[in-house]
Amino acid sequence: MARVVRHKDMNWLERLYIFEACRGLWTTLKHAARGLFRYEQLPTISYPEGQPEIWNSYRAKHRLMLRPDGTPRCVACGMCAAACPAKCIFIEATQSDDPRIEKRVMRFDIDHLTCVFCGLCAEACPVDALRMDTKVVSFEHRTREEFVASLYDLTSWDPKDYPDDALSQEAPGGTRNAEARKIWGMEVK
């Protein structure tokens, strides 16, 4: 049902226009002056010098977690590709060289032009290999092909960027890597 909103009629002072126009200009001038003298109080950020604050739960660019020996944790089961509503994950599997690991991923491509950042892939992953916590939110590339993140792109991240995450610190270069490698009992590849 339509709702009729009745506006209050303008009085004669408002209908004169000139006073109301000056009032609007005063608002503009006030904000312009705040940008010059009270910069920190502005409700906007001056991108790209200022970067937005991103929460830990924000679904940003993907990364693939690494085992203590630096190989991707991904077992190429294809659950993420099956869960993906945009069909932007392409996986090819192969036999692992390590006798204790059966299957390893040979190709893992995520097309970030098609990705809708729903997070279902990270949720579907049975081995916690795929995460979306890189906080990378802007994608700028020159060609379409560069938007496709390869296995190399997804695994080249630095444990120093994730100081509070225990699993990230087990990757090579992390604070818990030596300890984890001892438990894992694995040769470094």
Partner 1 sequence: MSNYYNMPKLPTENSPKVEIFVDDRPVMVPGDTNLLEALKAVGIETPHICYHPYLPVSGNCRQCLVEQEGPRGRMLVISCYTPVVPGMKIYTPASSERVKNARKATQEFMLVNHPLDCPICDKAGECTLQENFMEAGQNESRLRPEVGKNYHGNPDHQFVDSKGQVRGGKHVDIGPRILLDEERCVQCDRCVRFMRSVAGDEQLQLAGRADHTYISTFPGEKLDHEYDLCVTDICPTGAMTAKYFRFQKRVWLLSHTPTVSMDDSLGANIWLDHADGKIWRMMPRCNPQVNRSWLSNTSRMAFQTFSENRLPAIDASAIKIGEGKVAIVLGGTCTIEDLAAARMLKDSLGGRAELFGGTFRAVGKADGIAKSGDPMANRKGFKVMGVGDNNLQDLVKRVSEFETLITVNADLFGEDAAAASPLEKIKNRIALSAFDDATAKKATVAFGIRHWSEVQGTMVNSLGILQKLNAAPTAPEAELRPAYEVLSQLSGTAITCASKAFKKAGEYASVLAEYSYDNIKSTGALLNGVEV
Contact positions toward partner 1, by CB under 8 A?
Answer: 75-79, 82, 93-95, 99-100, 102-103, 126-127, 183-185
Q: In whole angstroms, how close is the CB of 169 to partner 1 at the nearest point?
A: 17
Angle at alpha carbon of residue 22, lines to 18 and 26, rounded to 5°: 170
Q: In whole angstroms, how close is the CB of 41 to partner 1 at the nearest point?
A: 52
Helices first, then strands: H and E counts in the chain? 7, 5
Single out the residue of 181, 131, 125 nearest to residue 154, CA to CA.
Answer: 131
Q: In whole angstroms, how close is the CB of 186 to partner 1 at the nearest point?
A: 8
Q: In whole angstroms, how close is the CB of 109 to partner 1 at the nearest point?
A: 15
By C-beta, is 103 or 160 nearer to partner 1? 103
153's enclosing H/E stretch is: helix 151-155
By C-beta, is 43 or 99 nearer to partner 1? 99
Contact 73, 128 (CB under 8 A): yes
By C-beta, is 63 or 73 nearer to partner 1? 73
Report how far residue 186's alpha carbon sits from residue 189's, in angstroms, rounded to the nearest whole number.
Answer: 9
Report how far residue 87's alpha carbon sits from residue 114's, in angstroms, rounded to the nearest whole number.
Answer: 8
By C-beta, is 115 or 125 nearer to partner 1? 125
